[in-house]
Chains A and B, each alone.
Chain A
Amino acid sequence: MEHPVVPVSTYLKIFAALMVLTALTVAVAFIDWGFFNDVVAMTIAVIKALLVVSVFMHLKYSARLLWLIAGSSVVWFMVMVGLTLTDYRSRDWLLHEGMRPEPWHSVPAEVMQDAAPSGHNGAEAGSTGH
C-alpha cells in the first residue's frame, strides 16, 4: 500500500515517543558517558529519525523503491564522510621516521595565541585519537 491512512492514534503515540526521547537526550547529555557520549546522543537521534521517517513520512507503508531511495542517501552520506576521514584520520601517520611531516593541524603560534599552556589544546586532542 503506497498511500495508507494511518490512524491518528498512531501519530499521537509517535509524537509522545519523540517528546520523551527529546527529554531523554537532554537528560543524558548531563551524564558523562566518556567515549560513548556521542554514541548515546546519536543513537537517540537516529531512533527519533527512524520514527519520523517510518510513520510520519509513511516510509514503513511505502514501496520498496522508496526505501531504496531513502537508504541510498544515507549510504552516500557515509561514503562522503568515510572517505573524507580516511584523509583526516591518517594525516600524521608515518611512512618511516625520516618522513615525519609537520603535523597537519599545526596552526601558527600567533593563531593559537590562546592555547592553554597545559598542552590540552585541540591539536593535541586530535592526535591522540589513534
Chain B
Amino acid sequence: MSTATSTASEGKHYLNAKHTVLSWLLTVDHKRIGMMYLVSLVVFFLIGGAAAVLFRLELMTPAGDLLRSETYNKLFTMHGIVMIFFFLIPSIPAVLGNFLLPIMVGTRDVAFPKLNLASWYVFMLGGILAFVAIVGGGVDTGWTFYTPYSTMYANSNVILAVCGAFIAGFSSIMTALNFVVTIHKMRAPGLTWFRLPLFVWAMYATSLVVLLGTPVVAITLVMIFVERAFGLGIFNPALGGDPVLFQHLFWFYSHPAVYIMILPSMGVVSEIIACFSRRRIYGYKFVAYSSLAIAVIGFFVWGHHMFVSSQSTYAGMIFSFLTFFVAVPTAIKVLNWTMTMYKGSISLEAPMLYAFGFLGLFTIGGMTGLFLSTLATDIHLHDTYFVVAHFHYVMVGGGVMGFLGGLHFWWPKMTGRMYPEGWAIFAAIVIFVGFNLTFFPQFQLGYHGMPRRYHEYPADFQVLHIMSTAGASVLGFGYLLMAGYLGWSLKFGKKAGANPWDARGLEWETSSPPPTENFLVPPVVRHEAYAYEFESETSPESHPSSESSA
C-alpha cells in the first residue's frame, strides 16, 4: 500500500477534505460522523460527571448538609441516564465502530451512510430532550424509570426524559443495522469471516443485541409514556396492572445493554493485546464465537435484577442458574487474552495499560457479579453499594477502560497525531488508582449494609465514603489530564505515520488520517487477522511516515 502513504503526503484526508461547518453537519462520511459522536459524547460525559462530583461531595458527611434529598435523587438520576443512554451505550460503537468498522472490512463507507448521519441527529435530539428534562426541574426516578413511581408519582419531567431515552434508542438501532449489513455484504475481497478482526466480531455481536433488545425498551418506554401522558393503565396496580411487568420488559433490554457496553470493549482489548504482545490472538475462533455466545446468553438472564421484587422464587432460581452461564464465554475470553500474552513480547504503551486495567477491573466486576446472581446472597446485597460497586467495575472498569484504550490506540489513525506517551501513561495510572479508590470501598459499604440512593447515612460509614470521594477526585483529575493532553496533541502532537504501532489490520494500511473514501486502492486481504509473524507492508521501518516524506 505504498500508494496510500505517498498520497497522504499530498495532505488530502477526511479531515481537511472540506472545512465548512456545514460540511461536517451534512457529512455522510462514517469517519466524520464518528468524530461528531466523539465530541457529543465528551459533552455528555462532562454533564454526567458533574452530577457525580456533586453527589460524591454530599456523601462526604453522614448528614445531608449540601443537597436536599430531592436534589440528590435528581443528581443520581441524571448521572445514570446521561452516562448509560448517552455515553456508555453509544461510546465504542458510535465513535470507534463508526470510524473503524468500514475501514476494517475494507469498504468505502457503511452500507447506509445517510442513515448513519441520521443516527447522530436522532441521538442529539434524544440527548437534548433528556437534558431539558434534567435542567427544567429534574427527574428523580433513577435511570430505570421504575413503575408505579414514574407513572403515578414522579413529576412530569419524566415524560421528557422517557422520550429522550426512547429517541436515543433509535440511533443505536440505526448504527447497529448499518454495521450488520456492512459486515455481511461489504467485506473486501479475501476478507472471510474468520479473517475479520475480533473488534469487528464484537461489533457484530453488539449490533445483534441492539437490534433484538432496544425495540423492547422502546415499547416499554412508550407504555410508560401513554400511561403517564394519556392516563391509560398499563402497569397501574389500581386496575390490576403489575408494576413488575415493567421490570421484566425493562430488564429484557437493560441486562443485554450491559453487553452493549462491554462487548465492544472486549473487541478493543483483543486488538490492543494482539498488537502489544506481537502475537496472534490465542484461540481466535473461540474469542469470536464467545462474543456471539455472550450476546445470546445475555438475553436469558434478566430476572436476576428482580430477585427481591415480587417475581416468583422459582423464576428467580431459573434466572440465577442461567446467569452463571454468562461467566463461561467471558472466562474463555479472559483466558485467551492471557494465553496470547504468554511468551509474547509485551510492550507497555498507554493502550496496553488500559487493556490491563480492563482485564483486572472487569474480572473483579464479573466475579462480584457471581455474588449478586446467587439468590441467597443477593437478598443481602440487593440495592446496596455492593451493587453500585459491581456495575461500576463492569461498566467503567470494563466499558470505559476499553473505550479509553481504544481511543489511545486509534488516536493516531483518527487525528493523524500522536498523543504524548509519557503523559498518557501517567494519566492511565492515575485513572486506575482513582477508580479503585472510588469503588473498592463501596464493596465494603454495601456488604456492611449501606443502601444505595440515600444522601444520609450512619456515621460508621463515613471513612469509607470519604475514601470513595477522594478516589473520585483522583479519577476526575485523571480524566481532565487526559482531555488536556489529547486536546494538546491535536495541534502539537507528533505527526503519526500510517502505522505507528506496527500493527496489523486494514486500518493500518491506509494513511493517517485516512482519505475520504478510506483507501486509494481497494484492498485485497491475503492474511489471517493479527499476522504478527509476517512483516507489515506499512511497518514504520519499511515506510517513512508521512511527516518525513513531506
Chain A residues at the B interface, C-beta cutoff of 8 Å:
65, 72-73, 76, 79-80, 83-84, 86-88, 90-93, 95, 104-105, 107, 111, 122
Sampled A-B contacts (6; CB under 8 Å): A83-B303, A83-B315, A86-B303, A87-B303, A87-B306, A88-B312
Bound Cα distance from A87 to B302, whole angstroms: 12
Interface residues as binary, B147-164 with A (CB distance below 8 Å gives 1, 0 otherwise): 000000000000000000
Q: In the complex the two chains form, is A80's CB within 8 Å of B312's CB?
A: no
Q: In the complex the two chains form, is B248's CB within 8 Å of A87's CB?
A: yes
Q: In the complex the two chains form, is B303's CB within 8 Å of A105's CB?
A: no
Q: In the complex the two chains form, is B315's CB within 8 Å of A72's CB?
A: no
Contact of A90 among B242, B252, B314 (CB under 8 A): B314
In the complex, residue of chain B having the shortest beta-carbon distance to the beta carbon of A86: B315
Bound Cα distance from A111 to B249, whole angstroms: 25
The interface size of chain B toward A, counting residues with CB under 8 Å, comes to 26
Q: In the complex the two chains form, is A65's CB within 8 Å of B240's CB?
A: no
Residues of B within 8 A of A84 (CB): 245, 248-249, 252
Question: How far does the Cβ of B41 sit from chain A's closest Cβ, in whole Å?
Answer: 29
Residues of B within 8 A of A83 (CB): 300, 302-303, 315, 318-319
In the complex, residue of chain A having the shortest beta-carbon distance to the beta carbon of B310: A104
In the complex, which residues 209-253 of chain B have their Cβ closer than 8 Å to any Cβ of chain A? 212, 216, 237-240, 242, 244-245, 248-249, 252
Bound Cα distance from A104 to B248, whole angstroms: 15
Closest 10 CB pairs of A and B: A87-B315, A90-B314, A91-B312, A90-B312, A86-B315, A84-B248, A87-B311, A76-B212, A87-B312, A107-B240
Residues of B within 8 A of A92 (CB): 312
Q: In the complex the two chains form, is B184's CB within 8 Å of A65's CB?
A: yes
In the complex, which residues 302-323 of chain B have their Cβ closer than 8 Å to any Cβ of chain A? 302-303, 306, 310-315, 318-319
Question: How far does the Cβ of A115 sit from chain B's closest Cβ, in whole Å?
Answer: 11
Residues of B within 8 A of A95 (CB): 313
Contact of B314 among A72, A93, A104, A111 (CB under 8 A): A93
Q: In the complex the two chains form, is B299's CB within 8 Å of A79's CB?
A: yes
Q: In the complex the two chains form, is B315's CB within 8 Å of A111's CB?
A: no
Residues of A within 8 A of B299 (CB): 76, 79
With A86-B318, A107-B240 known as contacts, the answer to whether A79 contacts B311 (CB < 8 A) is no
In the complex, residue of chain A having the shortest beta-carbon distance to the beta carbon of B213: A76
Question: How far does the Cβ of A86 sit from chain B's closest Cβ, in whole Å?
Answer: 4
In the complex, which residues 240-295 of chain B have their Cβ closer than 8 Å to any Cβ of chain A? 240, 242, 244-245, 248-249, 252
Q: In the complex the two chains form, is B314's CB within 8 Å of A86's CB?
A: yes
Q: In the complex the two chains form, is A80's CB within 8 Å of B311's CB?
A: no
Residues of A within 8 A of B314 (CB): 86, 90, 93
